[in-house]
Each structure stands twice: as structure tokens, then as C-alpha cells.
Structure 1
């Protein structure tokens, strides 16, 4: 029930008749609010500002703080390195130590620049969540699948047989040893367009490891691989930290492309980090400049590619197992032409388009794999213009149909 009363000099009021229990609850609530206001007045202004600042600080900044006391730090170490002692060495490998993470967190806490502080805390929070262990890719754990993959690799890239055999030998060696898979650094060199990058991609798929391509052609500093010094506003981790510490595998593959084209007049030699990265002993304690953090990159697999190895410093070449890749000829040339042509048609993803006939390989075998891909792309486009879903020899560009050159290559 309620009643109202009003006058010209006053507002209209409403009188509510409430149950006794509800009235007492309202009285207690008013008392609680009064006590809270009184307590708030007793808090000094600096304390209140500090509380407000902590309440509005980003969540990552609050969750990535350094563990406070010795007990908390010991608990963090146990949690971060959980499973390290009991791991199967062939399958899991520790890339970080908990003490190093604690050291970097303590150093990060002293960073005054707000943006730098936030960036470093976000990175460290991800590092903490991933822990110390990473997987080790090793295809030999599935022998039948590995055998099929190797056969396909040899068929697709017959002119890289010596490299494939080298990798197969080290995969077999890893299964007989007690440690994880490690493949020594590889340097493949030869004329442009013979398929070095494509081979590296297919090899990564065969090994079951991620591949990261880094071109040295326009590299100007060491930051590409091992990060930018943290005092720069654009500081960011390098490719090695990104793939290993922030990635899933301890042994990713790095394709160091155009190794012979790295600038040599730069104040900061972009090839300098490779001297440490290519040696397992020094790579086990490699440092990324962005976070000033040391980690283990000793299992990383490096494949360098170049056209002219004489332009590469001897100090680097001595760290690689080198393989010269010749231009395929004879039966190899036909095999490469057929594989490249078929794959190119598949990647174009034209519905109902038929694979190229083997006879086309005879007209393409004198070309490099790169030139074959370009020729097939143009041929497929010409076939579609003529409302066909298959290739004819007349679809090939006239400038690739060199019978004299083909005869030289095929014999």
C-alpha cells in the first residue's frame, strides 16, 4: 500500500509501507555504506592514488610480476621446469631455465618506459605459460611414413639426392643415439632457379618441423636473427627466439636464403650471429638482445642457399656441410619437369583441370624449375581462355620451345 501528498511549495512525495524485515535490511545497508565512507576518508591521498593505479593496470602487468619471496620463487622454478627431469630426451628438450626467466623478470621490473615495460611483460607472460620444454621433431619415430616421404623427396628433387641422403643418415643416427635429432648445418649452392627454396620447404615437411625463411639480401644488422637491443623503441625479438622460445619445437628449420648477397659494408654485420648459432656448443647459450635473455638453440636446423659460395666468408663456410646442386640433365631433367609441371597445375586449383601429359616434360626439361613453373602458369591461362581444362603443347609460350637446347639437356 502507498499514499501520496503534495503542495505548491514542495515536491510530490511517496510514502511506502514496507514489511518490518525489509525495513531492517535497508537500515543495515545504510549503516554499512556510512562505515565504508568513513573508512575511505581515513585513507591518505597517495595510498588511494596507488590503489587506483593498481586497479587500472593492464592484466598482463599484474600477472607477470616477479615471484615475491624465496618460497614463491622456488615454487615458480618447480612449476616452470616441470617434467624436465623425467622427459624422454629424444622427444622433449629444455630450451630455457627458470632462473634465467626470474632474472629477466627482475630486470624488466626496472624498465621505466611504459610501452617497453608493457611489451616485455607481455612477452615474458607468454614465455612463462609455455614452460621450459619444447617438442623435438623426428620423422624416424614413424618408419613407414618416413620411408614414403623420403621416396617422394627423392622423386621430386632427383638433383638433390646427395643432400637427401645426408639428412637420412643423420635421422638414422639419431635413432641409434640417446639424444634428440640434430642435423649439421647444410649449405646448398648452384645456379638461380634450380629449386633450392622449394627443396628446403619439402624437406621441412618431410622432417615434420616448421620452416622459417630469412633472406640475407637486404639484411643490415644482426637483429634479424637475434633481436634488437632493448633500449631501442622498435626493439623486438629475433627469428631464433621467436621460433624456439615462443614456438612449439626445439629444432625448427631456418632457411638462410641468398647467403652470398648479404651486405658486407654494413657497420653491423648481419652474418655475425651465424658464427655462434651454427656451433652447438655456443648455440646452447645464445642471447636474444630484445629481452637480454639466454636460451638453448643448439638443436635448430640451418639450411643456407646461395648462387656464388666464393662471396661467403670462409669462417662461415667451414661451419657448413656444403653441396653443389647442378642443373638437372637427362633422365633427371625429365623427372623434374614432370613433377614441377604437375605440382604447378595442382597449386593453381582450377576445378576439373587435368594433370599435364608426360610428353610436355620433353618440351620443358631444358628449363630450370622456376622457368617451368612460369611456363605452366601461362599455359594454363591460355587453355582456360580457349575453354579447355587440359594442356596442349601449343599452350606453352613460344620462347620456351627450344628443340636444340632440349636435345642438349636430354642427352
Structure 2
């Protein structure tokens, strides 16, 4: 079976518009949460989110037509993809276009476009006018399609939609397509732009979001006894996955190996994870088996942990179920800094996992001061500040509404 490595990375997030800035803020324990400025959030129960930096302008990265024709989530995807492709440095003239594909994830697609168009339609008292780009801008698959169109990638091309597990699902599929010899390079990851009135209102109605409006930067506090919901985030993460021998032959910089991945379904509830983490336990076990690793070889686990009262406990039970009191395992929840990027979460957390391997640093779970007493005894959750630690193997968990569990493993090479 062919080996698969990561040769390029790109990121767009509240903590940075490039990988180096993003990683610096992660290891320094910065929060990207702030009061929403994109619209008047004063009427909402939650008035803050991990919004992109206020000085972000798509015009600094994309031409006018790309901005006009694309929803925010696609713009984020294109910007992060450009970074990752340039970082990888592969030359298309040395490849068949059918050897390069795109497998990309998103949970909501063009939500911002959809809300604006329907609002305009409702407000119109004469013949309705719909933007001719309305449909393509809202399609969840459009980021994958546009990345391939822009760069001429003619290989496998599709989108995975498994809610907050979408990016990990995309990476798993990309891993397997390369293993099977169906592609030499696949651009993968995820993007979402859910800081909209509809998303904020909808997640408030689910009681999923923190309402800590008086202190946004301390609102995301996974595993903490005072956690009250997640902080919405936005952005994109993109990774270039490449067949190992091909990457080695062209002298590419190799960041890490994608060692294995797996998915399971909870078959339990539309929004809640299984209370004992049964599906999550199995997904972690299957990912280890796929990678040919045992649980004691995993040094770092980037938890899905969103800071919800129920979800954090079920994941902690699942981690304990898969790892027990493994003395080597360090766990952290970086959504405490980035917020929850929905379908893009797994992609930026993959980048964090790879940087942890590269730099021998385990990032902290910030804001977590008093661990919930319901957590399994002996789980080593890194809080306070980042820790220096040799990381040879890192696992990244993502779980999505509908009961989707997707786990990816990364290994030093």
C-alpha cells in the first residue's frame, strides 16, 4: 500500500491568515474570539465569535470576479488552497492533470449568500430579482470545483459533507485515493463561513453556543466545569497530500505522514454524541489499526472538544475507553483558541497536529481552570500553557451532527 505524506499547508482563521502566524498564536495560547462586527449581533443571545481579523480583505488575495462570484466560504478555501499549493511547490508541467485531485469538506456551504438573497427576495414588492450566481455560490461542492478549475486539476474531485467531521472525512478519502494509486496529489481540507445571522440564531436555538458576552476570549473552555457552549469560528484549512515516493523523488519538503484514518457512525441522535462515546472509541481504534499503530504510540491527541456540557464528557470517556491511562498521551482542545469552524475544524486541527510534530510542542487548552469532576480520572489534559514534548504520532478527532465520527492519525517521518 502506498504511503501518503503532507507537502503543503495553508490556513485562513481568526488567529492568522497564514500558517506561521496561526501556529505562533496557537502555541502562545491566544484566543480569536471577539464581538461580531459583520452584522448587528445585539439582538442575539450570543454576540461574539472567532471572526477573521478586522483587517481581512479578500481583495488582497482574489480578483474582483472571484469575489463577486463566490461565497465567503469559497473565498476562504481559495485563499488557503493558494498558500498550500505554493508551499508544496509541485509543478503541474511534470504531472498529468488527472494525477492531481481535490477532495474537500464543508458543513454549510454558501450560508451567507443564501441568507442575503432570501432577505432581498422577501423585501422586494415587485418582480423578484435573483443573482445569477445565487445557486453556484450556495452549493457545498463549489470550493472543490473552483480549486480544480483555477489550477487545472482534473483528477478525482468531490466534496464530503459530514457536518463538523467534514474535513477529516475529506482527508481520509484523499489518503485512500492516493493509497489506491488513483492520484499522486490531492488538495484536501475544509472551509466554512458560518458567522451569519441564521447560523448564530439557529445554534442559539439549539443552546449550543456560549453566551459569555461579557468575556468572549474566555468563553471557549473545553472540559472546564463552567463551560456553557462553543464559540463559532470561520475560515479554511488546506493540506496537500502526496504519494510518498513522488514527493521524495521531486525533493519536496515533507511535514508528516498521514498514517491512518477511520470513520464510524453513532446511530444515536441527530445532534448529541453517544453518552459513552461508543462510536468514537471504535473510530479511534480503527484509525490505529489502519495506521498499524498501538495506542501507547500516540503522543498527542487534538480533541474535538467544543466546550459543550455533554459533548466534552462523552469524548473524554471515549478517549479513556480507547487509551485507558496511557502514560504517554497528552490531550488538548484547540477550539478554546480558534472557536469551532464546523466543516473546516478538522483541517486546521490537522495543521496544528502536524506543527506539534514538527516543533515538539503540545498546545494548551486555554481558559480551562477547573476540570469537570465527571472527566475520567488520569486523563492528561494540557491546560495553562503549551508544553514542550517530543511528538512522533498525533491523532485528531472530529465528530459531526448526525453521529459522524472521523479520526485521522499523523506520524513523524
User: Considering the TM-score relative to the shorter chain, is it more than 0.5?
Assistant: no
> Which of structures 1 and 2 has the larger relative contact order (alpha carbons within 8 angstroms, sep 6+)?
2
Q: Identify, as 1 or 2, the structure richer in helix.
A: 1
TM-score range, shorter chain: under 0.3
TM-score (norm 2): 0.26
Q: Identify, as 1 or 2, the structure richer in strand.
A: 2
